[in-house]
Every structure is written in structure tokens, then in C-alpha cells.
Chain A
Amino acid sequence: MRFKQLELSGWGRTTAAAVSAYRPERISAAADLVRAAGAENVVAYGGGRSYGDSAVRTGGAALLTERLDRILAFDETEQVVVCEPGITVADMQAFLVPRGYSLPAVPGTGFATVGGIVANDVHGKNHDRHGSIGDHVCWFDLLMADGTVKQVAPDNDGDLFAATIGGVGLTGIIVTVCIKVLPMPSNAVQVTEMRVRDLDHFFELFAEHRDRATYSVGWIDALARGAKLGRGVLELADPSPAGIPDKAPRRLRVPFDMPGILLNRLTMSAFNEVYYRRVPDGGEVSKKSLTAFFHPLDALHDWNRLYGRAGFHQFQCVVPEEGGASGIRSLLEEISASGSASFLAVLKTMGGEGRGHLSFPVRGYTLALDFPARAGVTDLLQRLEDITLDYGGRIYLAKDSMMSEAGFARMYPALREFRAVLEHVDPKGLFMSDQALRLGIRGPGR
């Protein structure tokens, strides 16, 4: 078998890992890699949209899933779709939406793969209503460390199921997955946008709307301080009974690494101001395509290059509802005081816990934003981690590139169960990522 030597990095591009890439086009070829790997580590790499180092292992093998992209079954009676891991969310949506369905949880980018969203148990703007993707997974076929493929469902191996949902690829390679889909009446949503004066106003509006709107997402100007702290725009949306004409999406590309200096406090404040003022004072109602609503940034290819060669860190945490409002306030105060935030931060409500041992969601509030990789950002991220811990929250593994090992262990109480499963299914530690090593996910000394 032949490998291609590649430098792979997460979407944030702060680190690059030298890997031996292998790109199977059929399941049997994927199994060949696992059987041949021996002592070498393996981890699946899908769309490359995880921000940090969770899908790469320096010096190990990267199993690129992009060519495992087939839809295997679609059952309208059961409302399930069965597919391979490398199909992208956008491709799957292009299949489902014209047939009157949608993936039940859609992440912010359509370039993520279905295998990737299961391995990270991703959530969308409808988490309150519908939970995360793991809540809708019926079963999956897992290529295990011994080279065999096992069908895993909650009722035949609940532990392995829970370890794989959100398990960041450490139990094996998902080669087939069956997902219950969501009826979707058209290709559009009816969106209501409103200006939000400050953070208290945000929490008022969340309390009022989170159980009514199917989709909700807040955009926060993380550079606003003082009385304006937490100001932004709230988007609420529900499926639209009538669709809109399909337009070929306009695709722009960032052709090279922009000088990082272009994203400075001045330009970003100005951008955030415009974004806030764009929504009229009394709010605005419009119809948007699902694509534009779910994946606003996908129209700008390679947008991560805006941050220049040094890249950026993304921070996303969730704080439980109890005390969550003050947790978010503390985080935003720390962030706005540092002045190092970039574009809009995202503030959303979350509905409940996921089914995986390492699932991210908790009922409460989740905050996500980018920080250009510059001096001081490491300290800031450490302080944000401390605040998150103070409020009993957790950081999202799909976004993490900097979390501490001790912090991680405190955030994920089911880590012990997760490790027990790995000890059983992959005692030699074949499946490993740089993140798993950094955070000691497999256990001390592994």
C-alpha cells in the first residue's frame, strides 16, 4: 500500500502534522490500512474542519475518508439514511432537502463530513429542539483496531456506541452510519433577525424564544465593552412551508494567506458595527435558503486564510444553565478586555446532554469565537478555560487546540467509562491523535 507524505493541519492552521496519508476508495482498502498499521498510529481525517489537532497524528497514518462518500440506503418509511463517512454535509443535504428531509443536526460548515460530525457529536442551531447528531444515529459500522468491522447500535453494544459518538475517532473508523433524518418542508427557512442591546437583553430573548423557534443563534460583537457588552444580533428561524428558487451559489475564494495585520481591532470593530447596524432597529424578517442559513461562511472558500500564515485558535465552551448567564458574562468581559477577539462570536442555547461519553452538549449556553494566533492568546485561552471550569462548563474537542490535560479531565466526567471501552477495543492504542496525546485522553502514560 502506498502513502502520500502530507502536512495536515486543523482548520485553525496553528499547527501542522507530518502524516502518511492513505486514501481508500472502498471499505476493504480501509481495513487493509488498519491491519497493516502495526505499531503506527492511525486516525481518520475527513473534511479537515476540526480546528485543532483532533484529526491528525504526527508521524502516524491519516486515513482520508473523502473517497468513501456513497449513500447506501434511504428509507422514507423509517426516515433514515445510510451512508459512508466521507460524504460531506453539503452533499448529503443536497440529496435530502429536495426529498423533503434534512440532517437533524447541521454544523456551521457544509464541508464537514458525516463521519466527522458523528465523531464530534456536532450540534446545530436547533440543539434546543432536536439535540445533537448523536441523538439521531441508529447504528454504525466501525472498523476496529483488529481490522474487523462491527455493527454497533445502542442495544447491542451501548458502551462502544457511547464511546464512538463524539469519541473523536479514537474507537476506530466509522465506515457506514445510519441516521434518522428530519422532515424539512422546503429548501428555505423564515428568519427573524433582531438587534440585541446587551447581554441581559440576549438572555431575556433566549428565555422568550428558545422553546418556540426551531433554530436560534446569536451573533455577538465580542469587542464591545461596558454598557454595550454582549450586544449583537439574534437570528430565529423556522422551516418555511414554501421554498425559494435554487440559485447556483456564488463562490469566492481567499487565494492566499492574507497578512495577519489586516485583522486588527479597528477593522474588526468596524465589521462588527456594520453587522449590528445592518439589522433595522425594529428587526427584520426574511426568507433564506437552508444553505445560506446553515453555512454562511461556506460562500467564502478557505476563509481561514484571512488570519494569515500564523492561523487562529477557536474557543468554544458551554456553561450549564444554572449560573450560565454570569459565566458567559465573565467570559465576555475577559475577552473584550483582551481586545483580541476577531469577528463575531456566536452565542447559542443548548438543550441537553449528548449520548457519547465525550459529547460536548450540556443544557445551557455555548459561546464560540476565533482568536488570531498572536502573543498573549495562550494566556487568554488559559483564563477562559479557568472561567469555564469555575462555572462547571466544558470546552468542545472539535474546536480545542490549547486545553490543559487537567482541565479536560474535570470537564468530561464520563472519561473513565470512555477509557474502559478503549482499553477493551483497542488495548494497543492504534487509534490516536495529537489531541488525544496532548490531553491524555487515553489515560495517563498512554
Chain B
Amino acid sequence: MSETAPQKRTWLVLGASSSVGRAFARLAARQGADIVLAGRDTDDLNRTAADVALRAGVFVDVVAFDAEDFDSHADFAADCARRDTAIDVFLLFGAMHEQDATDEDFDLARQTVNVNYLGAVSILDRLAPILEKQGDGRLVVLSSVAGDRGRRKNYLYGSAKGALNLYLQGLRARLFPAGVSVTTVKAGFLDTDMTFGLPGLFLVASPEACAAACLRLSDKGRETAYFPNFWFLIMTIIKSIPEPIFKRLSI
């Protein structure tokens, strides 16, 4: 052991109650990282924390985090800065409602934008200086193929994810000189409680596979990727349809 041991790192998982968050925490912990589980349901997160810590033998912490509570994000980030290990960030919180529901209820529409876009902007704006100061690190964001094109079926959700994807492009450029990678993972259908029982899903991927892909892609420093990767083909086709035709489609 002539080399110095690699520096201990902590993965901050924002939106850790979801099945992908849980799978990611288990996987990252198995690779030796400490974990901070952040989310609203801290009772549930405490159970996940126990599980991850027991299985992997790493330090796991639980912190209350509400994507919509923008005012709390500065303090949340300040707490992160006080940790004694370097942090990497996995952001995967989201809110998805049916388009019809958001059409009829602006509160749901606002929540969709607040969580998926503004919530992410709010917390990432506060975390970015920490990552810059750190001088290295990784940010992975679980986004959606819905952000690639506004579709009749989910254009509000898609617009929030699309805005997030654009924001991340800029953030990537900002953090690049500091040696921080930003990875945008555009996910297709995932087998989570957000999608369980939804009609019309196909080729649904497991949370474990998604978590593994997010970790792998960020290890490689990839900028953007589709998961599962065949969605690249599907979205290439969808994006190539001319608008005069696309507007007639109800997909």
C-alpha cells in the first residue's frame, strides 16, 4: 500500500426515497462512499439509511429536504459545505402528473415546474459554489426523455425537464474549469412507484439498472446520455418529425 488511500467521499442523494435513490445509495455505498440521504419522508429515509449502512458498512446520514421549499436550500447547502468529506451529488427528485390533471389544476402545474425545474435550480445554484471550491466532484441528474420534445401527452412535465436539461448544459460549462463533471441522464420508462400501473409503458427498466447506469456514466464523466440507451434512437426519430406533422400526433 505505497499509494495514498483515495480520499473518502460522500454521495449526496437528493430525492432518496425513490426506488432509484435507494438503489443508487446501496450501490455507491458498496463502492465505499459515505451517503447523505435527502428527502421529505425522513422516517422512511431512516429505514433506508439503516439498510445501506448495515449492508455496506459506511456512514449514512439523513437530512430533511423539500425541493419546493426554496428558502430552506441555502441552509441545506451550508450544512453540506460543513461536512468533512468531499461531496458528489445525485439529483433525482421529480414530480410527474398526467397532462390532463395539470391542465385542469394550476396548483399541480405549478408543483410540476417548482419541483422538476425551480427546485433543481434552487438547490444546484446553492451547491455549485461548494463544488467549485472543492475543485473536483461529480453531479449526476436524473432527467427524462420527456424533455427532448413537447408532446401532447406530457408537455408540461416535458417542458420542466427540458428547461432543466438546458440549465444543466450551462452549469456544466460553469463547473468544467473547476474539474466538476455534470452528467445528464435522460431516462425512459422506469419501473418505479411513479409509473407502476400506468398504461402504455414498454421496455421498462429496473431502478437498480438505472442507478448503476447513473453511477457508471458519471464515473466516465459523460455529459449526457439516454437510459436505457435505445431511447437515443427513439428520441432521434421523435425529434426528427417535422412540426406540421408532429402537431397532428397525440403521442
Contacts and interface: CB of A to CB of B under 8 A. Distances in A.
A23 interface: yes
Contacts of B48: 70
Contacts of A406: none
A4 B191 CA distance: 12
Contacts of B18: 25
Main SS class of interface, B: helix
Interface string A26-70: 111100000000000000000000000000000000000001001
Contacts of B41: 26, 28
Nearest to B45: A26
A119 to B, nearest CB: 21
* A25, A73, A74, A84: residue with the most chain B Cβ atoms closer than 10 Å: A25
B197 interface: yes
Interface in A118-160: none
B203 interface: no
Contacts of A67: 19, 193
B110 interface: no
Contacts of A29: 193
Main SS class of interface, A: mixed
* B43, B48, B51, B192: residue with the most chain A Cβ atoms closer than 10 Å: B51
Interface string A1-38: 01111000000000000000101111111000000000
Interface string B188-215: 0000110011100000000000000000
Contacts of A4: 196-197
Contacts of A84: 47
Nearest to B47: A70
B48 to A, nearest CB: 6
Interface of A: 2-5, 21, 23-29, 67, 70-74, 84, 95
19 contacts: A2-B197, A2-B198, A3-B197, A5-B197, A23-B193, A25-B19, A25-B22, A25-B192, A25-B193, A26-B17, A26-B41, A26-B44, A26-B47, A27-B44, A28-B43, A28-B44, A70-B22, A70-B47, A71-B50
Given A26-B17, A26-B47, 17 more contacts: A2-B196, A4-B197, A5-B197, A21-B197, A23-B196, A24-B193, A25-B18, A25-B19, A26-B41, A27-B44, A67-B193, A70-B47, A70-B48, A70-B50, A72-B47, A72-B54, A73-B54
